[in-house]
């Protein structure tokens, strides 16, 4: 799993616009693009797609008759191989952990067809579909110490640069469709910058600015600037990054050679996208699709609250469950959503008093909003609350979805008023919860992190 910070997408596009991007083939020297300012995230993303040199002729899904998706991936390998001690070490690591590979491929079976299809549409090497194996083990809930999330492991700032929505209700860094599109666009831009897939992968892990500095250093010394020649200048994680992907690539290419048994993955779509036209409770959506909550969340991990908001939002369901969803929805006849929002306007408004007014319990409000015990809401916070008869027919406004935030503080005042003193352990727990809440609040305010000279975000 990647735990380093990505270079920002804005810097990547600025570099793309430099004078040295003419060399794009894998065999060409790695250009060092000049940085420029003022690039726009959304227009830059479109530009990256338009100028990307295709690595191969895009193929249609119908061209593939192999019933096993692994065979389809093997047929599209296009990144030059490396063969060194690190590759051998990582092959041994993966091959000696069959349970780990089994869990990883089990999760991958939900998403892998979509990733391969998107790679082929763009003419990109299909072994890039294996990158989430080393990033996240295909776990969309994976979260690194650098706050990188999802199967492609984007930190918040790079996610925003790539137009991945992150708010109180959802985090598209975890969503399968949005994050895959962002990751492939980002990888394309890095390939355009360096003209070499191995260096593009190193930049995905280490940051484009760092890879450029390493190239400049070797070039000044008259040394080669390919990945293996630059490896000694890289941190250990990046030095292992391409060998890890090579190791997984080798195992997929010939699993029997390494004593690995790969579970078959059908070469057909696992899910379809279903449009929704109003707010719907996550539990109701799962019920209509005749799926468990866990099964539903596995395909829709971007949703953070008990309600899925937005008219244009899509949910992913296996084909047979999508048919059940539409049939059951037509016969539902009840409210689809039981949640709305409430803004705390006064510091005196407690969770207990709000619960009493709404006819619910403090525990329901705390659980829906992930509010720890011994914590209270600061004025200005927006939270999720059960609907009442007065709000039954209203969906949550898009402006609220985009801008809502929640700020917590230790609930020392109410403890004193109730005559109960917190134990030392409770005080430590409350302080820790308060610190976490403050960090989450800052992340949700759309403040763009600073970028230092080598393109890595400050933390």
Give the active site residues: 135
Helix (H, G, I), strand (E, B) or coil at 112: helix
Smallest Cα–Cα separation from 314: which of 302, 324, 330, 298?
302
Alpha-carbon distances, residue 179 vs 54, 87, 125, 196 (angstroms): 21, 28, 18, 23
Alpha-carbon distances, residue 443 vs 105, 147, 166, 438 (angstroms): 32, 10, 9, 9
Asked if residue 38 lies in contact with residue 183, where contact means CB atoms within 8 angstroms, the answer is no
Asked if residue 360 lies in contact with residue 329, where contact means CB atoms within 8 angstroms, the answer is no
Helices H, strands E: what count in the chain?
20, 8
Strands, E assignment, 39-109: none
What gap in Å lies between CA 55 and CA 416, rounded to an integer? Answer: 67
Asked if residue 60 lies in contact with residue 32, where contact means CB atoms within 8 angstroms, the answer is no
What gap in Å lies between CA 296 and CA 287, rounded to an integer? Answer: 9
Here the tokens at position 364 are 């329901």
Alpha-carbon distances, residue 31 vs 17, 39, 65, 359 (angstroms): 12, 20, 39, 64
Angle at 193 between CA 243 and CA 456, to 5 degrees: 70
Asked if residue 287 lies in contact with residue 124, where contact means CB atoms within 8 angstroms, the answer is no
Question: If phi over 0 gives left and psi between -120 and 50 gives alpha, with beta otherwise, what is residue 310?
Answer: left
145-168 burial, b at 16+ Cβ within 10 Å, e below that, comes to ebbbbbbbbbbbbbbbbbbbbbbb
Helix (H, G, I), strand (E, B) or coil at 68: strand
Smallest Cα–Cα separation from 378: which of 420, 441, 307, 445?
441
End-to-end Cα separation, the chain, in angstroms: 18
Here the tokens at position 446 are 């759309």
């Amino acid at each position: 799993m990647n735990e380093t910070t990505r270079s920002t997408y804005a810097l990547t596009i600025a570099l793309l616009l430099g004078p040295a991007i003419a060399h794009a083939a894998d065999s060409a020297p790695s250009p060092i693009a000049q940085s420029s300012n003022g690039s726009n995230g959304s227009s830059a993303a479109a530009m990256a797609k338009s100028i990307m040199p295709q690595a191969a002729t895009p193929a249609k899904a119908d061209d593939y008759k192999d019933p096993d998706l692994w065979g389809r991936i093997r047929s599209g390998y296009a990144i030059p191989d490396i063969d060194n001690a690190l590759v051998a070490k990582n092959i041994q690591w993966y091959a000696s952990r069959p349970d780990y590979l089994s869990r990883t491929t089990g999760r991958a079976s939900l998403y892998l067809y979509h990733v391969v299809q998107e790679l082929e549409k763009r003419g990109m090497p299909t072994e890039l579909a294996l990158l989430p194996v080393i990033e996240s083990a295909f776990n969309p809930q994976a979260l690194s110490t650098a706050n990188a999330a999802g199967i492609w492991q984007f930190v918040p700032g790079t996610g925003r640069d790539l137009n991945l929505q992150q708010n109180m209700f959802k985090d598209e860094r975890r969503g399968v469709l949005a994050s895959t599109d962002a990751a492939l666009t980002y990888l394309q831009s890095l390939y355009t910058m360096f003209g070499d897939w191995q260096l593009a992968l190193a930049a995905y892990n280490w940051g484009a600015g760092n890879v450029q500095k390493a190239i400049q250093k070797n070039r000044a010394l008259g040394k080669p600037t390919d990945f293996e020649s630059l490896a000694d200048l890289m941190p250990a994680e990046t030095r292992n990054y391409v060998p890890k992907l090579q190791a997984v690539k080798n195992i997929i290419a010939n699993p029997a050679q390494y004593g690995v048994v790969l579970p078959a993955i059908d070469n057909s779509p696992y899910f379809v996208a279903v449009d929704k036209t109003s707010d719907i409770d996550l539990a109701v959506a799962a019920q209509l699709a005749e799926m468990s909550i866990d099964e539903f969340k596995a395909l829709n991990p971007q949703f953070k609250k008990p309600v899925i908001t937005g008219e244009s939002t899509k949910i992913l369901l296996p084909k047979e469950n999508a048919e059940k969803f539409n049939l059951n929805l037509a016969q539902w006849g009840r409210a689809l959503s039981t949640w709305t929002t409430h803004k705390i306007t006064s510091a005196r408004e407690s969770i207990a008093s709000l619960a009493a007014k709404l006819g619910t319990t403090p525990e329901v409000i705390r659980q829906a909003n992930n509010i720890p015990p011994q914590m209270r809401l600061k004025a200005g916070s927006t939270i999720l609350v059960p609907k009442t008869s007065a709000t039954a027919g209203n969906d949550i406004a898009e402006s609220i979805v985009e801008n809502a935030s929640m700020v917590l503080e230790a609930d020392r005042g109410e403890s004193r008023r109730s005559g109960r003193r917190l134990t030392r352990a409770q005080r430590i727990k409350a302080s820790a919860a308060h610190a976490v809440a403050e960090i989450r609040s800052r992340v949700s305010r759309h403040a763009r992190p600073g970028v230092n000279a080598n393109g890595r975000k400050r933390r």
